């Protein structure tokens, strides 16, 4: 592989993480030694993060957990900038590189010794009386759910314009393969290899036994029409962006033209991550 050139790095740091200042300072010194400019932007794990303007850069480094990575993916949408996701959280499924491995993986990237892989994202649009009132992007999932679990949400599901079914329950998760191990998994949905391009449609606590999770092709357009409701509904993108939807709204979710780019840590393999992070297949202590 050919060597890569990096002139400017943007560091997106979750300021709530312990020792984040020291870790960012050491990494900036590392970059300075290579003649690479760097800028640090703090993230507060709030909706205000989505308004941060990212300067021009060749590479972004995310310091935090998986939630920090999701925010970075949305901020960099359409920029074609790879993310080196460093885990400073308690789980770290998407953020697969540890602080101790950071400099090694960075050098491997510069030397062309590791790959950049892309992950599918979803675009969501809400129309009210035929006019767009909300749009966003998600790396993990889009969820439509009842605010009060004492009452059921009602959702009419269409796939590529064809009516599928009327759903009653707590709501619906529409997830990417990356998001298959997040809320979708907790709600009984399937695990998909993150390298796949597909869309998971997973009802949350459906009222009928006949409704099961469904995996459709990446080109499928998922549309939800909201009939008369007995409860308030909310739409959530990647768990951090919430919009109130109401009767008559139409919600369209489909594959985004943009993709999230990540620098691969060659020390991590999909099945190993499932085994170590999620205790996949269990074991004597599971």
**Residues labelled catalytic:** 66
Which pair of structure tokens corresponds to residue 165?
Answer: 């079914």
φ and ψ of 242, to 5 deg: -120, 135
- DSSP of 186-231: HTTPPP--TTS-EEEEEEES-SSTT---EEEETTPPEEEE--S-SS
CA gap 14, 197 in Å, rounded: 29
Q: What number of H helices and E strands is found in the chain?
A: 5, 17
Sign of CA dihedral 47, 50, 53, 54: positive
């Amino acid at each position: 592989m050919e060597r890569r050139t990096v002139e400017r790095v943007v560091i997106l740091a979750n300021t709530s993480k312990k020792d984040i200042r020291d870790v960012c300072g050491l990494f900036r010194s590392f970059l300075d030694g290579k003649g690479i400019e760097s800028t640090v932007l703090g993230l507060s794990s709030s909706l205000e993060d989505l308004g941060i303007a990212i300067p021009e850069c060749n590479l972004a480094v995310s310091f935090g957990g998986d939630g920090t990575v999701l925010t970075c993916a949305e901020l960099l949408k359409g920029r074609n900038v790879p993310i080196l996701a460093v885990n400073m959280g308690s789980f770290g499924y998407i953020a697969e590189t540890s602080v101790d491995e950071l400099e090694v993986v960075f050098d491997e990237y510069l030397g062309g010794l590791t790959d950049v892989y892309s992950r599918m994202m979803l675009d969501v649009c809400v129309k009210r009386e035929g006019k767009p009132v909300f749009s966003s992007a998600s790396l993990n999932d889009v969820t439509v759910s009842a605010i009060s679990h004492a009452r059921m949400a009602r959702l009419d599901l269409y796939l590529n314009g064809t009516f599928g079914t009327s759903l009653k329950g707590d709501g619906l998760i529409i997830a990417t393969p990356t998001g298959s191990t997040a809320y979708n998994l907790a709600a009984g949905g399937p695990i998909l290899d993150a390298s796949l391009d597909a869309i998971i449609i997973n009802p949350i606590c459906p009222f009928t036994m006949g409704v099961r999770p469904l995996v459709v092709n990446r080109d499928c357009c998922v549309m939800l029409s909201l009939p008369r409701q007995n409860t308030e509904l909310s739409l959530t993108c990647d768990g951090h962006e919430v919009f109130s939807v109401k009767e008559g709204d139409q919600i369209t979710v489909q594959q985004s033209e943009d993709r999230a780019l990540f620098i691969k840590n060659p020390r991590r393999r999909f099945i190993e991550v499932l085994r170590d992070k999620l205790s996949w297949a269990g074991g004597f202590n599971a």
